[in-house]
Amino acid sequence: MAVGGAALGLNAISPGIWPERPLFGLNRSHWARALPAPNPPPTRDLDADFVVIGGGFTGLSAAYYLRQVLPQAKVVLLEAVRCGNGASARNGAMLQTSTEDTYMEPDVDPVFHRRLYAVTRDNIERIRRLQAVTGVDCELDTRGALQVAFTQRDAQAMPRIAAKLRAAGLPVDDWGAEDVAQALGTRAYHGGLYEPASGQVHPGKLVALWKRAAELSGAEIYEGAAVTAVDEGPRLSLHLANGITARSPHVVLATNVYTSRLGYLRAAVAPIVNHVAITPPLGPSELAALGWSRRIPFNDSRTNVVYAGLTRDNRVHIGGGVEQYEFDDGLADPADHGAALGFLRRELARLYPSLADAPFERSWWGFVDMSVTGASSVGRMGRHGNILYAIGLSGQGVNFTSVLGRVLGDIAAGKERGWSWLPYLNHLPPYVPNEPFRWLGVEAGIGLLSR
């Protein structure tokens, strides 16, 4: 009893003992080389109808959709470093319909599956159309995606999963080991689930696309504009690190794993470190030796999922496998990137022996906003109901973030009823405790799942 009380007490005072620091490590990924030049920060106080905080896919698409649904509204976006500094230009480039977790949970309501699939597939077509509107080619390649079976047991479950998904109207095929080997050029897997509308993008260029779309629609974007504090009220005041204040009746938090640093949603997600590496462009003979004939990106069925893809300029990128958590969300550079890189090196050699000696040209890491269930949340909160948020993409946000950007626009316009079928609407993920319990829980979870 006394121990339980002490634990509750420690959990309550923990944010005072270990206050989170507003750190934003620089994005040194391969994708970041293609990010657009940053806009200057604001030099005087701002007033707007909506202030969006965060210049990743969520914030940029929310700014775009806000202007689409409320064309008279003044929409300002504030990004701490530069657009794409967060997960949006650090990820594994895979653009997925539905979400990976629903692929593996076919018992979920088939009507929900069908709707989610339709929305996510439509979102890919929206991105395709925005390429023409913005003039930004984000290297959208929709030749499908594979979720490959790491074990024989996973492969045995796949026909049943595919049948259920097909019955719900999703065109998912189960492939045998030979089909997978033919398509990917590796015999490391026992089968796979193939979905034809998914694919991949260049994440840095997708950031450029959303930034251009938001600006063309009339949103103002400021970079190098870190918000350090939010004063709530019918009209919110946002204080920036450079002394500027932005005032607005509505704020959109599109701040992903950094959200807790503003004092919000601390208990919704745990930031998990995930690592990625990329080779230089392969020459024609190296490419031929690979045998990745259909150039389909894939992720595997392990809990610590490994994912890989082939870029338009014939680089192989590979990521995942090692998931880490830093005590107190330490967003500083994790010292153990080297160990993760060693794992990715071995994994690449296992999948493609011809690349056993190929160097990595660049490697990086990013933070996944992992919720306990793997599901997102989008909605409205705050004493005055004027703080909108989207969080908990759990490593699957390249496509889905801009669906949530659209939902945020509709919430702002009072049209959220159209999204009431989404279980994520105004429904926060299960509670994640404060330190040290978060660290203990996440480490135990990672250890358990790895085994």
Binding site for ligand FAD (CB under 6 A): 24, 53-59, 78-81, 85-88, 90-94, 96, 226-227, 254-256, 258, 262, 274, 276, 307, 319, 366-368, 393, 395-399, 401
Burial annotation 153-167 (CB, 10 A radius, 16+ → b, else e): ebbebbeebbebbee
Which CB, 32 or 80, lies closer to ligand FAD? Answer: 80
10 Å Cβ neighbour count for 170? 24
For residue 275, the minimal CB distance to ligand FAD (Å) is: 7
Which CB, 88 or 131, lies closer to ligand FAD? Answer: 88
Cα–Cα–Cα angle for 400, 313, 89, nearest 5°?
35
For residue 227, the minimal CB distance to ligand FAD (Å) is: 4
| 307 in Cβ contact with 263 (< 8 Å) | no
For residue 307, the minimal CB distance to ligand FAD (Å) is: 6
Length reported for the chain: 451
Cis peptide, bond prior to residue 281, ω within 30 of zero: no
304's tokens: 């610590």
Which CB, 79 or 416, lies closer to ligand FAD? Answer: 79
For residue 92, the minimal CB distance to ligand FAD (Å) is: 3
Listed residue (57, 90, 106, 115) closest to 424, CA to CA: 115
For residue 128, the minimal CB distance to ligand FAD (Å) is: 17
Q: Distances in Å between the alpha carbon of 338 and those of 5, 277, 347, 355? A: 40, 11, 14, 19
Q: Are strands 236-240 and 362-370 parallel, antiparallel or unpaired?
A: unpaired
For residue 39, the minimal CB distance to ligand FAD (Å) is: 13
How far apart CA 397 and CA 430 sit, in angstroms, is 19
Which CB, 162 or 278, lies closer to ligand FAD? Answer: 278
Which CB, 105 or 178, lies closer to ligand FAD? Answer: 105
Which CB, 122 or 178, lies closer to ligand FAD? Answer: 122
